Structure 1
């Protein structure tokens, strides 16, 4: 969109410098402008330089593949940063930085692998650095495959770091890196370590409010002292939509959720091919910004949580893919699925919940509870930190295919699997867990074979269904439980001053009522302290930020994005806080309160879309 010396200018702009026009116009209105650059997606380079293309193991490039994912399938040309394309990108970034030194900063998008690349440049570099050929078959746990994935991740970080250095060699302005690849599987090569190269953490997402709350908490963790910005589409509900806009109420729900976490918000609006933009959406956003202005006051607070879900990006794998060719991988993400569903159940029960990165494990305190759900690829250092947390008085819930290295830290030895796609666990005390099903709960995956419990309390044993063939089975639609094994499936264990539960069945992943109730009952066996309690219905999420002299409690009333039901008289108690004043933020009026036993109690009169209270200490 400017007369470039290093690339191709848009044919529709002639000699105009549209970037300069927009930059000057925004600066007149005191609007910050960050210059956007797509780092891997480049159709012109893809067309002009076939040797720059990302190639899969069959030597197919992105626009040669029929169908495919949101990235592949014909529309997008993606280029490999291990080719000469890298230097092209750096030349462009240098030119842009020199041409627009008065910009506010840079937004570098798409620094991830859209596909597992087997281009000659990647093959040569991997051979040169490791002496190995690129593996074609997935095999987590094997040195050759682990080396390949480690290289893919480090190559991306190097690309991001060098891009920053090119920009900063011209001018020192903030650089934003796109973290929208956060929920993507291992093939993206994107990890939380990319935060080291970003002045701000920014990501665009197009899921629901539960995803937004999860991501905001994770961004809060990896950002540390840095700001974070959550981006979503003004259209409903992806960039592929062009005319169907979200309602004002839905936009307000997204905006208030980000502000409740102390983040910044940005919405993406499509531009017509002739350059026109719709005016109504900007009127809607003006209404949204005014409606939630009270939450814009302070964004520096620390997120308070009693439960922490570990979101471990290196565990975005599926062990069932072992032995499969790369192009035939499942794209399943057991860790993400289990972590998000555990998170949703916790916030529904008004347990203050954080989503933490592995870098935050050492910050956990006694009295908190950590959830490691299908954490399949964890380092020895992280295992040590989790064990130290439990030893000092923390609680941990470990589930499913969580790395055996971590189980061994607690004296639990596992080896191999039991069953295939249909297994069961049977609780030792059916009356306590669920009498209606005789304490037998279905699983939908193989179970870890536990060989030694390390003197744990066995809560449930593994069971197998009736054997079946394609022609012979017991019942027409299901495979009922049949054979009790000698292998434990759910364990409870005291470990120094702390407690753990390991369950071979990831109950949290299943949305069925029975599995949700089992998950909740297991949590109740683990001791942890509640910093905040209220009697709000499950449709309301509570978020607490801690400041130097106050707490801010936000109540998000999100039954649906564009529909709310008024909730009245929510009684709340905040522990560890003897308040001097309780202020209803939107109305800027004080609420009556009482202090007792080191805590503060108050009643929130009403919540519509959201409400916020500040408790001053």
Structure 2
């Protein structure tokens, strides 16, 4: 039912009636989004009133009218959510209100803006992808939720389409453990059985997981702290390859069911998150709503951001000018928020490169030219890249790697191409000179540009290169670092008023049984800070540590299976 139709008044009245009649503690509005692009008489008339045009029926992300229609759809849905929240407030002011916020990782069709969170007491949503998806969502919710804790839910079965196959106890525990690691609430979903019965064994298994995690709750809180942040652009949840496709032939483009987003920006965001997690670099998320918080971070990642406003560009320029470091990839800052391509990158001066053209659109390679970068990928001489690389020239930047094309183009051939240099694979051709990775100094900061979204590639070696570039941009060690297997995530929450840090290690290993492993953590205290105690939570028992250098604390976790949480208390010498 369209929220621009009389259905809106019905839904608002029904909400108010229910909340007055029943003493609910809280309400969760599920699936408040567009299931399709609506062209009913109400939507057509409203868009014509507001924009002076008919809503386009062919996708064109370079058409300002299409962009205006998409923004209108988001604005109308947010307005509807606001009216529902207001109805609850009128009927029962003490009730908590939230709306389904899982579309933060969905495509544009659903038309849910991140700013809808303004009408939620806290963010809440269900997701069904791997653990890294949950980790990223927690950080998005941390950035946009008006209050904490936010809430994450997922199914007790392997996915929503399976009513009976339950996740293993280890997987249930892994997913639930990411909640205390991010200071969030957590809920398992059990689909209703038509017979109305409950499976006691299911709830006993879930109960054992919650019994392990409940003792952590008194120690949670604080604010997520990190040296690195990933920029997530709600307006970039689309793909330019959709241009020219009639709306009635569009698929939703993404879901909360899997890791793949089928959208270049979100694919790159997910890859960047995985690269940082595997490198044990704590990270946060920045969106347009919290751009003012950029000063908290040393490095900002802009993963193939498809559209950027002048205001976003100005904020990022100021961040770098004042000493921040930037990693940007692909089309970042090339297209304005109304879809109109800029003549050059909006951040061209900062990045030290200038846009020349589309460049390699299919298979290509990244060839490190600088010894330090080459050492990251050795013994390989090249990194394979499938997502295309823009053609740029370095204006003030140093070229760290170049684009190498395959021996023969990927187009027009078959499995056995008419011209080929290897029977199945297409090897790199002669080394090219076009920049693939560049590094520039601007103002007091640094900027690294990658002509293609390296972070979106599936291979670990590509993520290793991204992590190496981030470490270089940091200009020194992070406040908290860890040495552990790739599947371990490190998160840090600061309680400044209590002079404590919560340091958590979570195994994201997706397996039936946990694999115990060893981890070592290094904390660099700020000037004037001195450690008082390191406690293992929830027991509160002292955990051994040493101080290998002034202001540096080091401790070992020999037995990490799923979750370990530590509280570091420090004092400040004034």
TM exceeds 0.5?
yes
Cα pair 1:570 1:606 within 8 Å, conserved: no
How far off is 1:328 after superposition? 4.3
CA distance in 1, matches of 2:326, 2:250: 31
Q: Which deviates more from structure 2 when the two are superposed, residues 275-284 or residues 462-471?
A: 462-471
Q: CA deviation at 1:527?
A: 2.9
Task: Give matches, 1:331-410, under 5 Å.
Answer: 331=253, 332-365=262-295, 368-404=298-334, 405-410=345-350
CA gap 1:290/1:498 in 2 versus in 1, 3 angstroms: same
Question: Is residue 436 of structure 2 the alignment partner of residue 496 of structure 1?
Answer: no
Q: Do structure 1's residue 473 and structure 2's residue 415 form an aligned pair?
A: no
Aligned: 1:249 with 2:147: no
Q: Equivalent residues in 2 for 1:321-332 (5 A)?
A: 321-329=242-250, 331=253, 332=262
Q: 1:197 & 1:340 partners in 2: Cα distance?
A: 26
Aligned to 2:536: 584
Tell me, yes or no, if the aligned pair for 2:446 and 2:473 is still in contact at 8 Å.
yes
In 2, Cα distance between equivalents of 1:191 and 1:132: 22
CA distance change for structure 1 residues 182 and 290 in 2, over 3 Å: closer, same or farther? same
Bigger relative contact order (CA 8 A; separation at least 6): 2
Matches of 1:119 and 1:608, distance apart in 2? 54
Separation in 1 of the partners of 2:379 and 2:554? 41
- 1:611 aligned to which of 557, 564, 572: 564
Deviation at 1:483, TM superposition (A): 6.8
2:403 alignment partner in structure 1: 462
Q: In structure 2, what is the Cα distance between the partners aligned to 1:527 and 1:80?
A: 48
How many residues align structurally? Answer: 536
Partner Cα distance (1:430, 1:591) in 2: 41
- Once the two structures are superposed, what CA deviation does each residue of 1:412-437 show, in whole Å capped at 9, x if it has no partner? 33253113322334443479526878
Is the counterpart of residue 234 in structure 1 residue 156 in structure 2?
yes
SS at match of 1:272: coil
Contact kept? 1:257, 1:556, Cα under 8 Å: yes
Q: How far apart are the structure 1 equivalents of 2:325 and 2:372?
A: 25
Contact 1:253–1:562 (8 Å) recurs in 2: no
Q: Which residue is equivalent to 2:365?
A: 424
Match of 1:23 in 2: none
Q: What per-residue deviation string (whole Å, max 9, x for no partner) do you get for residues 532-557 of structure 1?
A: 12322222212111112211111212
Separation of aligned partners in 2, 1:485 and 1:327: 42
What is the aligned partner in structure 2 of residue 601 from structure 1?
Answer: 554
From 55, 71, 79, the equivalent of 1:150 is 71
Determine which of 216, 223, 234 is the counterpart of 2:138.
216
- Tell me the TM-score normalised to structure 2 length: 0.87
Contact 1:366 1:392 in 2 (8 A): no
How far, CA to CA, are the matches of 1:436 and 1:602 in structure 2?
A: 31
Given that 2:278 and 2:487 are in contact with CA atoms closer than 8 Å, whether structure 1 keeps it comes out as yes
Equivalent position of 2:513 in the other structure: 563
Q: 1:321 to 1:415 in 2, by over 3 A?
A: farther
Does residue 193 (structure 1) correspond to residue 115 (structure 2)? The answer is: yes
Which position in structure 1 is the counterpart of 2:257? none
1:448 maps to which of 373, 382, 390: 390
SS in 2 for 1:526: helix
State the shift of 1:220 in Å: 1.0
Return the index of the structure with the highest Cα Rg.
Answer: 1
- Superposed CA RMSD in Å reads 2.4
Instruction: Check whether the contact 1:209–1:561 (CA below 8 A) recurs between aligned residues.
Output: no
Q: Is the 8 A contact 2:32 2:81 kept in 1?
A: yes
Structure 2: how far apart are the matches of 1:251 and 1:524? 33
Moved more, 474-483 or 577-586: 474-483
Residues 506-585 of structure 1: pairs in structure 2 closer than 5 A:
506-528=453-475, 529-547=477-495, 548-549=497-498, 550-560=500-510, 562-568=512-518, 570-576=520-526, 577-585=529-537
Conserved in 2, the CA contact under 8 Å of 1:390 and 1:499? yes
Task: Give me the whole-angstrom Cα distance separating, in 2, the residues matched to 1:432 and 1:175.
Answer: 50
- Any idea what the Cα deviations from partners look like across 1:512-534, whole Å, max 9, x if unmatched? 24423432343343234401123
The SS at the match of 1:538 is coil
**Helix, strand or coil for the counterpart of 1:265?**
strand
| Correspondence 1:166 to 2:87 | yes
Change (3 A) 1:295 1:453: same
> Take 2:183 and 2:72, find their aligned partners in 1: how far apart are those partners?
35
